[in-house]
Chain A
Amino acid sequence: MRVDNCFFCGRPAWPSKGITFMRNDGKSFRFCRSKCHKNFKMKRNPRKLKWTKAYRKNAGKEMTVDSTLQFAARRNVPVRYDRELFAKTLKAMERISEIKARRERIFYKKRMAGKRAREVAAARKLVADNEHLLPRLRGSEKRRLAELAAERGVDVEELEREELAAKASGKKSKAFGGEVKRLRVRTDGGVEEITESFGGVVGEDDDEDDGFEDEDDEMDTD
């Protein structure tokens, strides 16, 4: 029994899952799910579909050159079972996957370096061009505040600023709230669990500092 990689998308295909196609020249094609099988039958090129490992490797989105990747290989030389050797192997596997995860994290960080600067620059331009679209106080509100200020004897402008700030912070509300749990591998090797909630409650929203992370996490399963 072994866990094969899907011929099409590269995901692990576990025993009892997916389907295998045996071509009449003897080559076998393992597919992890019907989606991959169908795409294969449609003669699609996995290198051109963004959701496959082949694409990601081809596009340089994943670590392809590394010494940790040399360890797992199908060997055609049979090795007799040896208890000690197997024990060593299991330990080595743990260590290798640990190192690999670390390096992948670094690889990702390097790949994403400079993204934030670009985003900020884009945001600056956007704000400069479209300042008129930023939320303002309504005329009626202004009048109310002016009346309030006159009543209390406070500066109108200060009141207005406060009001605007309160409005801006509460702006980010969506219809439905939720929670995302994700594991983050730190560069020092540790793993921390992050729980992020969005929407729902107004006000105590912890602005996520790396908004770019969610796009990649689903591929990092192996």
Chain B
Amino acid sequence: MTWKDIAPVPTAQEFIDIILSRTQRRLPTQISRIRAFYTRKVKFTQETCSEKFGAIVSSFPILTDQHPFHRDLMNILYDADHFKVALGQVSTAKHLIETISRDYVRLLKYSQSLYQCKQLKRAALGRMATLIKRLKDPLAYLDQVRQHLARLPDINPTTRTLLVAGFPNVGKSSFVSSVTRADTPVEPYAFTTKSLFVGHLDYKYLRYQVIDTPGILDHPLEEMNTIEMQSVTALAHLRAAICFFIDISEQCGYSLKAQINLFKSIKPLFANKMVFVVLNKMDVKKFEELEPEMQAELNDLVKSGDVELLRASCATQEGVQDVKNHVCERLLAERVSQKLKAGTGSSGNMGSRLTEVMARIHVAQPMGGVTRETFVPEAIKNMKKYDKNDPERRRLARDEEFENGGAGVFNVDLKRDYLLANPEWKYDKIPEIYDGKNVYDYVDPDIDAKLAALEEEEERLEKEGFYKSDSDVGDESEEEILQKAELIREKHKLIRNEAKMRKSLKNRAMIPRKSLKKSFSQLEDHLDQLGVDTQEIDLRGRAAVRETRGRSVGARSRTGTVDPDAMDVDNAPSARDRLRSQSRPRDRSVMATNRREDGVTDELVRTKVERQAKLAQRKMNRMARQGEADRHIGATMPKHLFSGKRTIGKTSSR
């Protein structure tokens, strides 16, 4: 339980400053609607106040909700009444401020001028400030309480706790500092420890809380001061193992008698707790060195019940660890037994929570404590022990192997151990595949029955005429039709092929059907194939061709309008030429003029002309022009010549 995170409580003046400045900062300064503006101011101030007071009241612990130990401790330290009154005042102030604000808001509604509004607001805020001013003392007190609370040791009243108590200056703090990591102040005067201190120690992986208490003097409870009362509170409310320290050397300044008396007087506080009386400062004076009546008195303390006597010396550390271990051990055992008792009902059955815990705990015990012997068959027990030198020793598989050539030569005969109906079959060659089928797929103990069933079925089918075949032999006409169809199909195929061939261009130009040449022989053959007698056509065709072929050469006219002898031709063609021109195709006919000699008077001029022509062509040739009209500009940087690898070779050698 910590109260370290309580916000600081401002003083009354600070409080007023905070609230007023906030009111000023957070609200708009422009006055648009007068009443609303001032109402808002008043309301905002009130809201801030309420919020702040509310926060203060709720942040402080409510005493009635606390553990009795903490409640009493706070009562002793801060005076519960005072504390309650302070908080009550704060909360009353909150209510009053709310009332004020409500009243003034109401008044503001009926105010008539800006000035009136302003005055009302001032009055409201002023009254609030006065109220807060009156809270000066409670606020200061609460802040102090806050500071002290934050510094209180973090005591957990429910955990495993060791409580160290005794007269002042008996060595309580030195014990705590030697046993735990806490740094408790140790000084050679009484009341060194003025408040509770907490340290922690580990024992068997568990954490224990050790509380160092201020010393107690032996006088009535009413006379005790605040410091002592803290110890008493701790003793009264904490369920802990109490280590009552007694200084038997009386170096502390209090007699042994007084210490024993104190123990007796505060004994009522030890009810239901484990108490250990630790005799400290053993190094100075041993228990045995005490007077007998003192010894008896101390033993009397122990006799009374739950009290144990332990010895230690914080100065020499003698017995300190023993004390710690013993106390921790006892405390743990006690707590466990108490928990078990609490969980178990009066009739001895466990409560639900405890059963749940117990169900999770399982201690495994092998075989439930039963011992099992290894089983050895009788035959093995009675077997004679193998001895190499015994002539009647058992024959081992190893012996057989050795006799047959040893390891790597001898092969174990596995077939010998086959379990078959007839041992003669052991070395049979078992067929695996027969007629392309796996024999093992057909192996079936009731193959006979199945085969018989199949045969029966076969017989039945035979009877039913399942196998009777009606072979359809086609008649003559059908055969003929089929044959004709075959011929037609073949013809179809041929036609299709031919058409394909004709159509496929194969990189040649598409020639119009009109200008396709078809020789006469082709036509003739086609007609012949169709069954037409082509002889007459042939003869007629040839004759016609002879008549009409070519230009009218020589002195003949088809129409006969021109008399062949009428015109005088310079160089009349000879008979051979005429014949030649008849057989020669028209496109190979002679040019009208010879361009080489055209327009040239004599040989001399011709050579000159030729030279001129060559000269004119020179430039063209040099520039690789096709002619004088060639204006082509090629690619200036052909990509393929300017890209590629060039690490070792040249651009051109790739």
The reply to whether chain A is a binding partner of chain B is yes
Closest Cβ of chain B: how far from A85's Cβ, in Å?
Answer: 7
Q: By the criterion CB–CB under 8 Å, are B531 and A72 in contact?
A: no
In the complex, which residues of chain B have a beta carbon less than 8 angstroms from the beta carbon of A134?
Answer: 484, 487-488, 491
A-B contacts, CB under 8 A, total = 159
Q: By the criterion CB–CB under 8 Å, are A106 and B467 in contact?
A: yes
Closest Cβ of chain A: how far from B87's Cβ, in Å?
Answer: 76
Q: Which of A21-29, A51-59, A139-147 has 4 or more CB atoms under 8 Å from chain B?
A: A139-147
Q: By the criterion CB–CB under 8 Å, are B484 and A80 in contact?
A: no
Closest Cβ of chain A: how far from B527's Cβ, in Å?
Answer: 7
Partner of B439 from the list A12, A90, A99, A109 (CB cut-off 8 Å) is: A90
Residue A79 at the B interface, CB < 8 A?
yes
Q: By the criterion CB–CB under 8 Å, are A127 and B481 in contact?
A: yes
The residues in B between 432 and 459 inclusive whose CB is less than 8 angstroms from any CB of A are 432-445, 447-448, 450-451, 453-455, 457-458
Q: By the criterion CB–CB under 8 Å, are B428 and A126 in contact?
A: no
Q: By the criterion CB–CB under 8 Å, are A79 and B435 in contact?
A: no
- Contact of A137 with B531 at beta-carbon distance under 8 Å, contacts A85-B443, A92-B451, A93-B434 already known: yes
Q: By the criterion CB–CB under 8 Å, are A93 and B533 in contact?
A: no
Q: Per-residue CB proximity of B477-500 to A under 8 Å, as 1/0?
A: 011011111111101100100000
A123 to B209, CA, bound (A): 115
Q: By the criterion CB–CB under 8 Å, are B533 and A140 in contact?
A: yes
Q: By the criterion CB–CB under 8 Å, are A138 and B437 in contact?
A: no
Q: By the criterion CB–CB under 8 Å, are B531 and A139 in contact?
A: yes
A107 to B447, CA, bound (A): 25
Residue A154 at the B interface, CB < 8 A?
no
Q: By the criterion CB–CB under 8 Å, are A67 and B445 in contact?
A: no
Q: By the criterion CB–CB under 8 Å, are A123 and B531 in contact?
A: no
Residue A176 at the B interface, CB < 8 A?
no
A209 to B422, CA, bound (A): 57
Closest Cβ of chain B: how far from A77's Cβ, in Å?
Answer: 9
In the complex, which residues of chain B have a beta carbon less than 8 angstroms from the beta carbon of A209?
Answer: 473-474
Residue A218 at the B interface, CB < 8 A?
no
> A143 — nearest CB in chain B belongs to which residue?
B533
A142 to B473, CA, bound (A): 36
Q: By the criterion CB–CB under 8 Å, are A3 and B436 in contact?
A: yes
Closest Cβ of chain A: how far from B418's Cβ, in Å?
Answer: 8
A138 to B454, CA, bound (A): 65
Q: By the criterion CB–CB under 8 Å, are B442 and A93 in contact?
A: yes
A48 to B453, CA, bound (A): 36
In the complex, which residues of chain B have a beta carbon less than 8 angstroms from the beta carbon of A123?
Answer: 481-482, 484-485
Residue B296 at the A interface, CB < 8 A?
no
Q: By the criterion CB–CB under 8 Å, are A1 and B419 in contact?
A: no
Q: By the criterion CB–CB under 8 Å, are B454 and A96 in contact?
A: yes
Residue B535 at the A interface, CB < 8 A?
yes
The residues in A between 151 and 188 inclusive whose CB is less than 8 angstroms from any CB of B are 168, 171-172, 187-188
Q: By the criterion CB–CB under 8 Å, are A71 and B534 in contact?
A: no
> A126 — nearest CB in chain B belongs to which residue?
B485
Closest Cβ of chain B: how far from A198's Cβ, in Å?
Answer: 13
The residues in A between 120 and 135 inclusive whose CB is less than 8 angstroms from any CB of B are 120, 122-124, 126-127, 130, 133-135
> A91 — nearest CB in chain B belongs to which residue?
B451
- Contact of A133 with B428 at beta-carbon distance under 8 Å, contacts A79-B445, A120-B474, A142-B531 already known: no
In the complex, which residues of chain B have a beta carbon less than 8 angstroms from the beta carbon of A89?
Answer: 439, 442-444, 447
Q: List 6 A-B contacts (CB under 8 A).
A: A71-B450, A81-B425, A89-B442, A89-B443, A120-B478, A143-B535
**Other than the known A102-B467, A133-B488, what 13 A-B pairs have Cβ atoms closer than 8 Å?**
A67-B454, A73-B441, A74-B441, A75-B444, A83-B428, A88-B448, A90-B439, A99-B454, A120-B474, A126-B488, A139-B532, A139-B533, A140-B528
